[in-house]
Amino acid sequence: MADARIENFNAEVEKVLTYLHGEFAKLQTGRANAALVENVPVDAYGQSQPLKAVAGVSVQDAKTIVVQPWDASTLGDIETALVKADIGINPVNDGTVIRLNLPPMTTERREQLVKLVHQLAEEGRISVRQQRQTVHDKIKDEEKDEDVRYTMLEELEKAVKAANEKIDETKKQKEEEVMTV
């Protein structure tokens, strides 16, 4: 029987991993990926909303992202938002769609991205440790039976170890992706 506190911890770990995957997806690896721009805030119709809400974002080829607005009147707003987003890509507006041509990756840029990947992974580990501490304290405070407490803390440590392994695995995959020319 799984303890609710351990299940709660696992649910929080899933949130951390989901966030980490999302952050990794936003990193420009030299290969076009819609996640790079789909959440860029666009001021259209008097409010700010993500790009994917006002336009279709597709990948034309390995180096080109195409943004097709649902409403042609928002083309200028989208272009302005993409310039403001400062993602290192200049939008090319041809009057109907906006093309984003990804520049080739330099070795220096790849190394910067690897550092960022390490930083994001470390932030994930810190979140896991914070969640672990919260659950650890709850178990120590709430559990009167020493054997049950010991078993629960062991379960918690196994879950922490599994979470950190997942973070390391994800980090390693992203590093390889970034360093692949």
Confidence of residue 181 (pLDDT cuts 50, 70, 90): low
pTM of this prediction?
0.69
Q: Percentage of the chain surpassing pLDDT 90?
A: 42
Kindly tell me if the per-residue pLDDT of 2 is higher than 90: no
Kindly tell me if the per-residue pLDDT of 88 is higher than 80: no
**Residue 28 confidence (pLDDT):** 66
Could you give all domains of the chain from N- to C-terminal order, each with its CATH number?
A: 4-26+106-179 (1.10.132.20), 34-101 (3.30.1360.40)
Surface-to-core class of residue 50, CB atoms within 10 Å of its CB (0-12 exposed, 13-18 middle, 19+ buried):
middle
Tell me which range, 15-29, 57-71, 98-112, is most confidently predicted by mean pLDDT: 57-71
Work out the mean pLDDT of the chain and round it to a whole number.
88
**Residue 178 confidence (pLDDT):** 82
Please work out, in degrees rounded to the nearest 5, the angle formed at the alpha carbon of residue 69 by the alpha carbons of 50 and 75. Answer: 95
What average pLDDT does this structure show over 121-148?
Answer: 92
Please work out, in degrees rounded to the nearest 5, the angle formed at the alpha carbon of residue 45 by the alpha carbons of 39 and 51. Answer: 15
**Residue 84 confidence (pLDDT):** 86
What average pLDDT does this structure show over 102-129?
Answer: 88
pLDDT digits (tens, 9 = 90+) for 16-26: 999 998 888 77
Confidence of residue 44 (pLDDT cuts 50, 70, 90): confident
Strands (E), the chain: 41-44, 47-50, 55-61, 64-69, 91-93, 98-101
